[in-house]
Amino acid sequence: MDTSTTKFKLRLGIFIVIGILLFVLTIFILGKQKNLFNPVFRLTTSFTNVSGLEVGSNIRFAGINVGTVDAIDIIDDSTVMVDMILRKSIQRFIKKDCSASIGSAGIIGDKILTISQRSSEVSAVKDGDAIASREPVETDAIIASLKITASNAEVVSDQLAEIMIKINSGRGTLGRLIQDTMIGDDFSETMKNIKSSSKGLDENMNAAKENFLLKGYFRRKAEAAQQLKDDEEKARKAKQKALDKAKK
């Protein structure tokens, strides 16, 4: 037999074996992801809008992939039926009051179906049961809301810029107060007058205390303040004594 022919057949055989192994491995991986080799059960739910969910999308329960979307059918103009295939091992954890919602695997990830966790007192679902659903928030609605918020922020920013321009140019009461040095000097002078008046008032009060006609008034006032202070001290000591007695 020709050596070149033998080498060709050997290479062809190796190529075929590798191809078969890759095919089997691919089938095994896909089958594992689609639960083809595990016992499964089915559930259904319905939405008015599936928001981009596709056949083959993952189903998560408690943050774990537990199945896939098997079919999506439009029942009528307001109902879209979603059929789910889930691992049999998690059936006992999914209760009849659980609900399905559509989310994303990440910020911009693929759509997934999430089954919420509910009360453990309710009985588990059966094969073929239908569970409730929560409608997804539309991305278009979120974007529209963000646009309105951005537009409002732009209006506020423009208004603030206009106010700052007026202040910097000395227009308006606040602008004149900041930019006009005369107003600032008048304000400083006013503060000095207030301090001087306050000092004079203190001196007048001290003089009044020395006046023999008013000494009795200030003495009675001081005695009343001292009496109030003594009463508070007595009350504090009585309270402390009661607490110490209660501890014993």
Residues with pLDDT less than 50, the chain: none
SS3 assignment for the chain: CCHHHHHHHHHHHHHHHHHHHHHHHHHHHHHHHCCCCCCEEEEEEEECCCCCCCCCCEEEECCEEEEEEEEEEEEECCEEEEEEEEEHHHHHHCECCCEEEEEECCCCCCEEEEECCCCCCCCECCCCEECEEECCCCHHHHHHHHHHHHHHHHHHHHHHHHHHHHHHCCCHHHHHHHHCHHHHHHHHHHHHHHHHHHHHHHHHHHHHHHCCCCHHHHHHHHHHHHHHHHHHHHHHHHHHHHHHHHHC
Tokens of 176: 């004149």
pLDDT tens digit sequence for 97-107:
899 998 887 66
Q: What is the share, in percent, of the chain residues with pLDDT greater than 90?
A: 11
pLDDT tens digit sequence for 130-182:
998 888 766 556 666 777 787 778 778 877 877 777 666 666 665 555 555 65
Residues 111/52, Cβ–Cβ less than 8 Å:
yes
* Single pTM value for the model: 0.46
Q: Give Cα separations from 84 to 54, 72, 111, 127, 241 (angstroms).
A: 11, 9, 14, 10, 73
Q: Give Cα separations from 77 to 47, 73, 74, 133, 136 (angstroms).
A: 11, 11, 8, 17, 17
Measured over the CA atoms of residue 175, residue 180, residue 184 and residue 187, the dihedral's sign is negative
Looking at residue 85, its pLDDT comes to 92
CA-wise closest residue to 86 among 46, 129, 134: 129
Looking at residue 52, its pLDDT comes to 82
